[in-house]
Amino acid sequence: MGITLLTVNTAPSFSSTILQSNLIHSLGLSHHLIALNFIILSFGKKSAQSSAHVKVTDTDFDGVEVRVFEGSPKPNEPLRRSVVYIHGGGWALASAKISYYDELCTTMAEELNAVIVSIEYRLVPQVYFPEQIYDVMRATKYFLKPEVLEKYKVDPGRIGVSGDSAGGNLAAALGQQFTYVDSLRSKLKLQALIYPVLQALDFNTPSYQQNKNTPILPRHVMVKYWVDYFKGNYDFVQAMIVNNHTALDVDRATALRARLNWTSLLPESITKSYKPVMQTTGDARIVQEIPQLLEASSSPLIADQEMLQYLPKTYILTCEHDVLRDDGIMYAKRLERAGVDVTLDHFEDGFHGCMIFTSWPTNFSVGIRTRNSYIKWLDQNL
Ligand SMILES: *[C@@H]1O[C@H](CO)[C@@H](O)[C@H](O)[C@H]1NC(C)=O
Ligand SMILES: *[C@@H]1O[C@H](CO)[C@@H](O)[C@H](O)[C@H]1NC(C)=O
Ligand SMILES: *[C@@H]1O[C@H](CO)[C@@H](O)[C@H](O)[C@H]1NC(C)=O
């Protein structure tokens, strides 16, 4: 078992001019979370609409809202496969009901003849870490009850969890939490993480350095999402950008930083000439005030090596133009070392968020290619 490198797409159709469109650039104003979320939602929140091939219903699983997409069963296969899907948006934005995610889940349900459960977990500022994790766990545990699977005609042996960006973070956290509970440990057949957010300890990985000003998700915006998730103070953002929160004089942080030592976890083709940013003296107040920064439930990349072996077969999609690229590549490496079967699907012309941009006017070629590659992997492995 090792890392299968699925695709390395070299034809760059990445256009920075299109990326810098006003709408996308406005995501940089993410501290106006409620206003921005309102704008995004008012552009595209859809009511549940079934088609000939996919039945769509809004309901709740143990008090957590979900949108369920039911594809038609395959002939001769009465039980369907299933994916629990967790949307992205910095733990603060978007919805299972906006058109981007509604369309993704509809396509998955149709092409995989599967039942897709898209979780409408609660967001910042209504709730903060770890409530988002509790929401996705509560809904997933409810769905896994034999009588619920029977109602939806789902094969209990063919269920995966997936999510993109902050949703990939929640999917990875959920996967890890399930390994701690005997009755849940082997319930998931796979996890598929799309440009996941996996750590808050080092904001100077090569991909953070390389893409610190890339639109859609510049570094300072990602750090603000983290601070918001913990209901922390923006005064710390500048210090966190230079890794002052995990400096060598911050004792609790340094041991954990060894788990994401990218000089040993990343290949030279990625590290290039980038140098680690490790401060000798930093600011211990940051992790005193925000101890959640150092927890594996928020940063799945720093989990105990011992636990990782219990994780299911894993797919990780990464994009070159993304501060989070190395979070994904490092997690793939740690999982591989733990003996987990991992597929790393890297897109040289990919940018953060691209997989949901598949419809006009944001029908990027790389959006369509990432989505097709992801669905193909699910089809072959679920
Ligand atoms: C990082 O910490 C050092 C030592 O406390 C301090 O001198 C420096 O100003 C901090 N950097 C930022 C950006 O806050
Ligand atoms: C990181 O890994 C490199 C290469 O294995 C090693 O030389 C270095 O001491 C490690 N650094 C830390 C902080 O663990
Ligand atoms: C996006 O959609 C438009 C209009 O349907 C089409 O002309 C264009 O070729 C599409 N672009 C891609 C990359 O598929």
Report pLDDT digits (tens) over 268-292. 999 999 999 999 999 999 999 999 9
In a domain, 7, yes or no: no
In a domain, 230, yes or no: yes
258 lines ligand 2 (CB under 6 A): yes
CA dist 61 → 25, 76, 117, 126, 139 (Å): 35, 29, 10, 19, 5
pLDDT at position 264 over 70: yes
In a domain, 1, yes or no: no
Distance CA 73, CA 147 (A): 18
> Which residue puts its alpha carbon closest to atom 2 of ligand 1?
282
Q: CATH number, domain at 348?
A: 3.40.50.1820
The pTM (predicted TM-score) of the whole model is 0.92
Give the atom of ligand 1 at the shortest distance from the alpha carbon of 282: 2
In a domain, 20, yes or no: no
CA of 257 to the centre of ligand 2 (A): 10
pLDDT digit string, tens, across residues 96-144: 999 999 999 999 999 999 999 999 999 999 999 999 999 999 999 999 9
Question: Where in the sequence numbering do the catalytic residues fall?
Answer: 165, 322, 352
Phi-psi region of 353 (alpha: psi -120 to 50; beta: other; left: phi over 0): left
281 lines ligand 1 (CB under 6 A): yes
pLDDT at position 365 over 50: yes
pLDDT at 216: 83
Q: Which residue has the higher pLDDT, 4 or 293?
A: 293
In a domain, 28, yes or no: no
Give the atom of ligand 3 at the shortest distance from the alpha carbon of 363: 1
Top mean-pLDDT range of 133-137, 213-217, 352-356, 361-365: 133-137
pLDDT at 153: 98
Residue 77 burial (10 A CB sphere; 0-12, 13-18, 19+):
exposed
User: How many Cα atoms occupy the beta-carbon half-sphere of 153 within 13 Å?
Assistant: 12
Mean pLDDT of 143-171: 98
Question: For the chain, what is the domain count?
Answer: 1
Distance CA 278, CA 296 (A): 20
pLDDT at position 175 over 70: yes
Phi-psi region of 31 (alpha: psi -120 to 50; beta: other; left: phi over 0): alpha
Full residue range of the structural domain in which residue 340 is found: 48-382
In a domain, 242, yes or no: yes
In a domain, 14, yes or no: no
Mean pLDDT of 344-358: 94
Q: Are 24 and 216 in contact (CB under 8 A)?
A: yes
CA of 340 to the centre of ligand 2 (A): 23
Q: Are strands 313-321 and 54-61 parallel, antiparallel or unpaired?
A: unpaired
In a domain, 310, yes or no: yes
* Tokens found for residue 271: 């590290």
